[in-house]
Amino acid sequence: MKIKNRPTSVTIQKGQQFPLTIKRLGINGEGVGYFKKQVVFVPGALPGEEVVVQAENIQPNYAEAVIKKIRKKSPHRVKPPCIYYDRCGGCQLQHLQYEQQLAAKRDIVIQALERHTNLEVDTLDIRPTIGMDDPWHYRNKSQFQLGNEKQQVIAGLYGANSHKLVPIHSCMVQHSLTDKINQTVKQVLEDFHIPIYHERKRTGIVRTIVVRAGVQTNHVQVVLITKAEELPRKELIAAEIMKRAPEVKSVMQNINGSKTSLIFGDKTVLLKGEEVIQETLGDLSFELSARAFFQLNPVQTVKLYDEVKKAAGLTGSEKIVDAYCGVGTIGLWLAKDAAEIRGMDVIEESIRDAKKNAEKHGIKNATYVTGKAETWMPKWAKEGWRPDVVVVDPPRTGCDRTFLKTIKKVKPKRFVYVSCNPSTLAKDIQFLSSLYKVEYIQPVDMFPHTAHVECCALLGIGIR
């Protein structure tokens, strides 16, 4: 039954306080409730809680509010162990018991499907979220912004919805090695009196420290993101970093002079050591260059890629396309159980790494090319080569519409979609729904204590 005369815009006033019952978690980990039929988002609130909130941000179709008082607390609420939790913005769910985080992430996937598809979501096979045994210190890469405070160099993250830099000395979701190296690099920059970039004034040189650790190899790569190529005493700085932290095998400089929120620019140069570091997943080892994509949680990556292998349903005779292939991790994970792998990526460095990784493992049935899948797949189809399975692991923006149209034309029997954004996954599923059926969706918790959820979705054409 339709509700008549339902308001079309929010009637809540800024600064207004009112009671609210939280119904669920939103896609950003915030509590969601309704006041006079208007949706209200409340960071830090949990499903089932009765709270008094104050409206802070009023938009045409919703309001954002802050908690003033919790009248009825969720039995799943816990005390966040991190000292930066209420300021940093890097995590959103440390105040929620971990088992409930897993349930909430499955619900976030369901919400996305309900919002962006016309499928009968309650009939779909959406499986319980695969979690971690120890959901801490899992991230193998950090990207800490730099600033100055009381004539000292600080490194950390911007607070939620702000440009106030929160200095972080030890992060509970970062691998301890990245924490250690961040502090070392920060101190070296301070000791060498290197000017730190000021975002508003656009002065200074070094903007960001990127640290990637090979969790299994104990190898570390440091990338200094600078405004311009000029960096005083860069060779000495690199040598000092490696002297103070012997785990560092590679020091790179990336130049990003643009006024942008993107971390990396287009040019990367070697300052000292190797251009790549080594990392191991299962029985595979990988060479990782500065800009190459590699999953941030190696423990969960093994679980995720095993789910991809299950979804691909390999018998040894399949031809596979690994689209958005990065350094070839997924394709190489599948290669020994398939007839042939062909992968592509627009980042040339990634393709170079993928070729090296395949050669190193003696994998001869893998071919990697630079470019887009929507360019290569029609070309291969004209030559008579069509894949049985396409695996895709796109960025948060989802798959390019041209790529999805290509999938509809080439018609692989199985389409295995690895997604880091339930909303774009749902939109892409809807676009393909005229041809493909959702066989199942398996959520995987790659980022405990955050609102992010990864999924392995199997779409098929008559595979049952």
Give dist(CA 334, CA 337) in Å, integer.
6
Give dist(CA 449, CA 255) in Å, integer.
32
Q: Active site residue: 91, 171, 325, 420, which one?
A: 420
Which string of DSSP letters, residue by residue, matches 218-242? --EEEEEEESSS--TTHHHHHHHHH
Instruction: Spell out where 267-350 has E strands.
Output: 267-273, 277-281, 284-288, 319-323, 340-345
CB 366 within 8 A of CB 358: yes
In this structure, which amino acid lies at residue 307? E
CB contact set of 306 (below 8 Å; sequence gap of 6+): none
Total number of residues shown for the chain: 464
Q: 369-402 b/e with 16+ CB inside 10 Å = b?
A: beebbbebbeebeeeeeebbbbbbbbeeebbbee
Give dist(CA 414, CA 403) in Å, integer.
15
CB 439 within 8 A of CB 459: yes
Give dist(CA 271, CA 292) in Å, integer.
18
Segments in 250-347 forming alpha helices (H): 298-312, 329-335
Q: Is 184 helix (H, G, I), strand (E, B) or coil?
A: helix
**Residue 420 annotated among the catalytic residues of the structure:** yes
Closest CA to 188 of 139, 122, 238, 142: 238
Give dist(CA 318, CA 208) in Å, integer.
43
Just list the catalytic residues: 420
